[in-house]
Structure 1
Amino acid sequence: MKIVLVIVLVIIAVYLYRRTQKTAEKELDVPKVKPQNSPDIKDIGVQDISLENSQQAELSTESSTESSAESSAAETSSEDVSPSPFSVVETSAEASLETAPLATDTDTAVTADNQTKAQVATAPETGSALAPLSGNWASDTFTQLVDAYTEQTEPEAQHKCLEEVIAHCYKLRKQADYCAYGAKLSDNYLRLFKQLKSDDTFKSELKGGAFMQLTTLLNDVEDFDAAIKVCQQAIDYQLDDGTVTGYAGRLARVEKAKAKAQA
């Protein structure tokens, strides 16, 4: 009952207040003027709500930015901590360089010397390479004979090819180029013949026909000392040149030619 009475009194009071306000406005006859600069309550509320929303958006943007920055910083720190494959390779290379012993000049020289000795020990004692054919004087046949000797690796095959080269030079000894080239082959032939002579397998098969041809070639180019050496080697091997006096008579003739040239 009291509540109903209170409500009725409030309604009456509101009605009287509005009636009084309207009466006063009529009496004063003053139109209500809305201030131009004063915003409406609704506008103020909307602006406040917009301001709050914008502030909240800015705060959320800042927080997301800070979160992104923190996550980026965390990723960067994690990347910095994890070693890159290049750093691992560099570290391994540096470690291997530090642990590997440094080669000195003495070690290099010793290694080169050992390799040279090993090559000398394993290389067969074959005839040396022939002098290159310079100029256009050599025929195709003679060039093929020289190439055939160069291609051989066995002493027996080299000996056979070298005898063919010397025989060709002896046949064309009237031509100065062939005579000079054949005379230079004496050391190669003596070295190769000595090697084969020491082997019982080839000892009986060696006839030494090139000794006679080399003596003639060396005598023609007036290399008398070399010709004498070839004759003496043939005599030591007890070879026969097919003449009556043999290499002894040939040696005497070379010595006579030498004395005549020096006179």
Structure 2
Amino acid sequence: MKIALIARAAWADPQAYTVDKQRVIVKPENLFLSLADRAVLTFAQQVVHTRGGTIDAYTFEPDAAAADRILHEALALGATTATKIVGGDLADPLQQRELIQRFVQRLIKQGQHYDLWLTGDTADSGFAAILAQELAAYYYEHVTALDSAFNFEIGLAKGKLLGQCQLPAVITTDDLIQVPELATFAALKTAMVAPITTIDLPIKSKPSTLVATQEQTDKVIFNLAQEPDATAKLVAKLKQDGILR
């Protein structure tokens, strides 16, 4: 059983970044492997223990130091190999698909085929769906429970969806499908000196640019006491602004 983990940083951690007016300041020294990814890595270890196989960890984190830190954590928690992908920005909508396509093409060229792709934190990205499409793999998203026989549960607003994953599969999880393990000091010490492979995938697509426009709308005051038709004027203004239909 060959398993691939897409390791990501815990951006939900309030210490990962600060917001100053119109700027977001990232603190890469506070970026560590997300708790959800630690949980799926714990699950992957259980699968390998039951069925045999290997776990290869990949990350697309743009900050080199954070990427190394995340991969070292993954190695300490049972990953067999660690690889960081550079050359493009996975969070950029104009570069994302090309980056994934080049990544998959490289894997195919090297004869790397995985039975299972796991990631526990993809709320801010369509990465997993695109990856499944490029791999022609089954896709299961927002899985809330999963066992080593790949029986899954997806929580719904009213009830739950049950089934069994077909392989090869790309799976994302919503909750902590397993209680994440903690790495031992000995494992961390070994992982810190373990080799990390770097794959450079130069992207032809130019990075997108976010341009924020600030528009000031006219302030209108409706005086209900002095204007008998103030209510009608207010409704008309709300319709003009698209708030009411």
TM-score band w.r.t. shorter chain: under 0.3
Q: Which has the higher helix share?
A: 1
Task: Compare the two structures and name the one with the higher strand fraction.
Answer: 2
Normalized against structure 2, the TM-score is what? 0.19
**Higher RCO (C-alpha under 8 Å, 6+ residues apart):** 2
The structure with the largest alpha-carbon Rg is 1
Normalised by the length of structure 1, the TM-score is 0.18
